[in-house]
Amino acid sequence: MSSALLADTILVVHALFVVFVVGGFALILAGARRWSWVRNRTFRALHLAAIAFVTAEALLGITCPLTIWEDMFRAAGPGQRSFIGRWVARLLYYDFPEWVFATAYCAFALAVLWAWRAIPPRARANKAL
């Protein structure tokens, strides 16, 4: 597998992570009264952990590992993104000061915490043997 293809694959995984965090929150809000799966404790814990990780990275000034790996593979090859890679990167990367991202991630994490309380996950049902 070429380094450019590896870099684009990591970029797509990064985008899917963002879709999980942002889309998951939208689905939790939209499905609070309609879909029981949005109250699944495992899903909600993974969702909360994902935004907590991103927020901690931003507050500590740490670059996302997926970005580091993508850049590493991109530097090892021709450095060109594929057509899909260019479009995904446009959706994922913005040129704003770091404090803007840290503020946005903190606000989003607070919204996810609010949703945890407003739309609480259900406890696992104990299955009798």
Best CA proximity match to 47, nearest among 104, 99, 108: 108
pTM metric for this prediction: 0.84
pLDDT digits (tens, 9 = 90+) for 54-85: 999 999 999 999 999 988 888 876 666 777 77
Domain residue ranges in the chain: 3-118
Q: What integer pLDDT is reported at residue 126 of this predicted model?
A: 56
Whether the predicted pLDDT of 1 surpasses 90: no
Whether the predicted pLDDT of 129 surpasses 80: no
Stronger pLDDT, 1 or 8, i.e. the higher one: 8
Number of CB atoms found within 10 A of residue 17's CB: 16
Q: What integer pLDDT is reported at residue 62 of this predicted model?
A: 93
pLDDT digits (tens, 9 = 90+) for 79-128: 667 777 778 888 888 888 999 999 999 999 999 999 999 999 987 665 55
Q: What integer pLDDT is reported at residue 125 of this predicted model?
A: 61
Q: What integer pLDDT is reported at residue 85 of this predicted model?
A: 78
| Mean pLDDT taken over the chain | 89
